[in-house]
Amino acid sequence: MSRTLTIRRPDDWHLHLRDGAMLAAVLPETARHFARAIVMPNLVPPVVTGAQAAAYRDRILAALPEGMRFEPLMTLYLTEDTDPDDVAAAAGSGLVRAVKLYPAGATTNSASGVQDFNRVRPVLERMAGIGLPLCVHGEVTDPQVDIFDREAVFIDRVLDPMRRATPGLKVVMEHVTTSEAVDYVKGAQTGLAATITAHHLVINRNHILAGGIRPHYYCLPVAKRERHRRALVGAATGGDARFFLGTDSAPHTDARKQQACGCAGCFTATNTLSVLAEVFERESALDRLERFTSRNGPAFYGLPVNEETLTLTRGAPVTYPERIDSGDGPVTVFDPGFKLHWKVGA
């Protein structure tokens, strides 16, 4: 007999949709399962102003296939020249739901990010005043710091001082990968939450490096040791309202992943919900899946929970395409390395 699980329709609180042919290819993969997504602004050039966010939103909606419903929640890319008035206007109109902080050089298309955190103080203070969340890519870029330590060091050197200096600022620590980040979020009084990806619940650093290098498991922040993965699973499945799903689904063509210097990013939009159901089932936590995918995020962002529902059905293993075609070239779908028994649909 098959089992079903019906939850409020999920949202993705951290998503890369790109632009042009790639946008057209990946948008249906998300819109099929998710009602809304916080859309990352790291295009080339980045989405810095309210006007740029409005234009990008129009391009996303134009790329949405007939009959599909999806609401892009737009973000602005924080630079040292960002104008606090522009941010406030874009938030006030409801267009923009968050501002994204990339430390300069931390990841894909982050060259225009922040080098001197003092220079963005006026923007952060304005955001604290109006309750607009800051989404943070939490890694230091100091070449002296080992890449596996960059998240933990960021908390001490940047995030904690920034939060202390800006009381009231709402912060989402994006795609956390360490027990230090989980502990930091749990220890905060108010105004701090974290997104967790599906792939970081599944892979540790051995999956990337042991027995051959697996470029499709390489993303940033890079997956850490098994004990960190376990901490993330505990946080995601534990029901704590401060942790919610942000897939960080980040499409790159196979040609760009499989080269001497491959791009960072796992493309998970297609099968994230089946992967999550499997992870939560193994933890005997299926009753808490809805909080992680559909309730905790809206609560933090001050948005209503989706009225629609989504049903997952357990049965014979489901298969997803190994790759999707993007027009720019094939994009490999994340391989969790285990069978998926939960399909989306009745």
Report the alpha-carbon distance of residue 176 to residue 234 in Å, rounded. 13
Alpha helix ranges (H) inside 238-293: 254-257, 272-282, 289-290
Nearest approach, Cβ of residue 175 and ligand DOR (Å):
7
Roughly what angle, to the nearest 10 degrees, separates helices 121-130 and 84-92?
20
Residue partners of 290: CB distance under 8 A and separation at least 6:
7, 8
Residues 149, 248, 325, 328: which is the catalytic one? 248
Given CA atoms 246, 136, 222, 29 in this order, what sign does their dihedral have? positive
- The answer to whether residue 83 is catalytic is no
The residue among 108 and 141 lying less far from ligand DOR, judged by its C-beta, is 108
| Stretch 233-272: interaction string toward ligand DOR, x if CB under 6 A | ---------------x-x-------------xx-------
Give the residue from 73, 75, 68, 82 showing the smallest Cα distance to 29. 68
User: What's the min distance (Å) between Cβ of 33 and ligand DOR?
Assistant: 20
Which CB atom, from 198 or from 285, has the smaller least distance to ligand DOR? Answer: 198
User: In the set 108, 112, 141, 313, which binds ligand DOR (CB under 6 A)?
Assistant: 108
**Percent helix, strand and coil across the chain, each to the nearest 5:** 40, 20, 40
Options 48, 99, 120, 219; binder of ligand DOR; rule CB under 6 A = 219
Closest CB to ligand DOR among 41 and 133? 41
Q: Contact between 220 and ligand DOR (CB under 6 A)?
A: yes
Q: Applying CB under 6 A, does 42 fall inside the site for ligand DOR?
A: yes
Q: Can you tell me which of 49, 52, 79, 107 binds ligand DOR, judged by CB under 6 A? A: 107
Judged by CB under 6 A, does residue 97 bind ligand DOR? no
The secondary structure of 178-246, three-state, reads CHHHHHHHHHCCCCEEEEECCHHHHCCHHHHHCCCCCHHHCCCCCCCCHHHHHHHHHHHHCCCCCEEEC
- Closest CB 260 distance from ligand DOR, rounded Å: 18
Distance CA 60, CA 215 (A): 28
| Residues numbered 289-318 forming contacts with ligand DOR, rule: CB under 6 A | none
Kindly list the residues in this chain that would bind Zn ion in the complex (CB under 5 A). 248
Applying CB under 6 A, does 326 fall inside the site for ligand DOR? Answer: no
Residue 137 touching ligand DOR (CB under 6 A): yes
Q: Which residues bind ligand DOR (CB under 6 A)?
A: 16, 42, 107-108, 137, 219-220, 248, 250, 264-265
* Positions marked active-site: 248
